[in-house]
């Protein structure tokens, strides 16, 4: 009898400790005391900064955080974000009182950006507060000053109108935060130099690189052992950016990495899709010292374990047909030998960035693509869609040809993969030949 009582008391004690631990974790996740450094009286609609230096720094902080890419150049929102849990639309963050954030105080703003607590409840991590939590107080103050200079835009956005049940219940994000949100500021490593720490701060904080370039689990949390080793964005793929020579940045020089972030091209690859948006709205504005700091930090990471892909061998007839299709449809821009046009059109020969996950290449074939428009590369070259002209099998054949020619080797792209992405992107079907009457 005494043994049973001891066991019962022990179980109760463990339950109490577990409950206290859970409450402690919940308190840490929900804690907004860091926002106490912000003003809690004046609303954004009534605040107009008169500090030109703070406004200038705030604009740079906005570029570091890539706010314009998602909230649109006028910050009125409405940008569509497709997730496995439904569709989100970015919010209006202009100083409009009715439809924007005009009624927020600076402290409310800090809470939204760094802790994911918005006017209408908890935010979804598509707004990367999980990274922004590391943004410094000073940059937050400056960002607030910059936002006060934005003209108000009246535009109502139903942000989670496209989210599936139960993910459209914002309260559920409390549980998600409990599992995956580390509500903590950036902590520098005193054993590293200032450039490395600045690079880590930018990568993990305002630039939020891991939000795209790290794989996620079934609940949408970042996989801890996959840090910056590549992640699926559904209809796009953010590649490995560790120093892996097969799948990452291992074959690029420091200057090429800086060039890619500054101009959208590194001499072989050209940014497209979400990365083109990031370059166009964000990284082209980074200072050279910040770009070099990011590069130094990325160089210091352990390389992912991704091995070199195994080549797919086409039979002679398939290869001949695919080579002809490539020459007719692709060689005018990409070159007969896959050499591309430096700074404008990606090369295929020797371009290892295209040899792993084929999602981006399939997407470009189906819907077209556009390079970023940057100060250093004014001609933002575009690629047309071939969805109307090629069926799934033909697109797969062309991609298999370019991924296994000119010294390249890569796994097979299947017609099934093309068809799946055609449906996901709502790309049109190949035009059919009218039946003879």
Q: For the sheet containing 80-83, what is the strand order? A: 80-83, 86-89, 162-163
Residues belonging to the binding site are 67, 70-71, 209, 212-213, 330, 333-334
Query: What span, in angstroms and rounded, lies between the C-alpha atoms of 170 and 163?
Result: 10
Q: CA-based angle 57:59:64, to the nearest 5?
A: 95
- Contacts for 364-370: CB closer than 8 Å, 24+ residues apart: 364/272, 364/273, 365/390, 365/395, 365/398, 365/399, 365/418, 366/395, 366/418, 366/421, 366/422, 366/425, 366/427, 367/425, 367/427, 369/272, 369/273, 369/276, 370/272, 370/276
Q: What's the Cα-to-Cα distance from 385 to each of 201, 382, 422, rounded to whole Å?
A: 38, 10, 11
| H or E stretch covering 383 | strand 382-383
Query: What span, in angstroms and rounded, lies between the C-alpha atoms of 101 and 43?
Result: 9
Sign of the CA dihedral running 322, 327, 328, 333? positive
Residues belonging to the binding site for heme c are 67, 70-71, 209, 212-213, 330, 333-334
Q: What's the Cα-to-Cα distance from 397 to each of 150, 260, 316, 362, 402, rounded to whole Å?
A: 49, 29, 12, 11, 9
Percent helix, strand and coil across the chain, each to the nearest 5? 45, 5, 45
- Contacts for 338-341: CB closer than 8 Å, 24+ residues apart: 338/402, 338/405, 338/406, 340/268, 340/270, 341/381
92 within 8 A of 30, measured Cβ to Cβ: no
Q: Give the contacts of 146 (CB within 8 A, at least 6 positions apart).
A: 49, 54, 55, 57, 58, 59, 61, 62
101 within 8 A of 155, measured Cβ to Cβ: no
Give the length of the chain.
437
142 within 8 A of 65, measured Cβ to Cβ: no
Strand partners, 74: none
Strand partners, 80: 89
Q: Which ranges constitute the DSSP H helices of 48-148?
A: 52-65, 67-71, 106-115, 129-132, 137-147
């Amino acid at each position: 009898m005494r043994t049973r009582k001891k066991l019962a008391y022990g179980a109760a004690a463990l339950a109490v400790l577990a409950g206290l631990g859970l409450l402690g974790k919940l308190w840490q996740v929900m804690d907004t005391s860091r926002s106490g450094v912000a003003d809690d009286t004046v609303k954004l609609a009534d605040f107009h900064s008169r500090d030109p230096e703070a406004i200038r720094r705030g604009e740079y902080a906005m570029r570091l955080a890539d706010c314009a890419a998602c909230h649109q150049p006028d910050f009125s929102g409405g940008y569509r974000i497709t997730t496995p849990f439904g569709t989100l639309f970015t919010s209006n963050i202009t100083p409009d009182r009715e439809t924007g954030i005009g009624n927020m105080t600076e402290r409310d703003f800090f809470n939204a950006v760094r802790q994911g607590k918005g006017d209408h409840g908890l935010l979804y991590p598509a707004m990367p507060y999980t990274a922004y939590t590391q943004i410094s107080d000073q940059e937050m103050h400056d960002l607030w000053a910059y936002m006060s200079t934005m003209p108000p835009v009246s535009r109502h956005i139903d942000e989670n109108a496209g989210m599936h049940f139960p993910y459209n219940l914002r309260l559920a994000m409390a549980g998600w935060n409990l599992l995956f949100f580390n509500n903590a500021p950036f902590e520098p490593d005193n054993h590293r130099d200032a450039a490395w720490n600045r690079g880590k701060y930018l990568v993990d904080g305002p630039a939020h690189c891991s939000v795209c370039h790290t794989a996620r689990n079934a609940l949408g949390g970042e996989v801890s052992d996959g840090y910056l080793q590549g992640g699926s964005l559904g209809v796009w793929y953010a590649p490995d950016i560790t120093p892996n020579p097969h799948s990452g940045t291992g074959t690029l020089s420091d200057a090429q990495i800086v060039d890619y972030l500054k101009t959208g091209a590194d001499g072989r690859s050209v940014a497209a899709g979400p990365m083109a948006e990031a370059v166009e709205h964000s990284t082209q504005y980074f200072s050279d010292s910040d770009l070099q700091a990011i590069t130094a930090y990325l160089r210091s990471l352990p390389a992912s374990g991704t091995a070199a892909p195994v080549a797919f061998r086409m039979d002679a007839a398939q290869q001949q047909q695919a080579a002809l299709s490539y020459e007719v449809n692709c060689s005018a821009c990409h070159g007969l030998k896959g050499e591309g046009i430096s700074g404008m059109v990606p090369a295929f020969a020797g371009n290892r960035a295209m040899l792993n996950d084929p999602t981006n290449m399939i997407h470009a074939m189906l819907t077209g693509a556009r390079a970023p428009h940057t100060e250093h590369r004014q001609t933002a070259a575009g690629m047309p869609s071939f969805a109307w002209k090629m069926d799934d099998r033909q697109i797969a054949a062309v991609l298999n040809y370019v991924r296994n020619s000119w010294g390249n080797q890569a796994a097979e792209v299947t017609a099934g993969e093309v068809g799946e992405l055609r449906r996901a992107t709502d790309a049109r079907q190949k035009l059919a030949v009218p039946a003879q009457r």
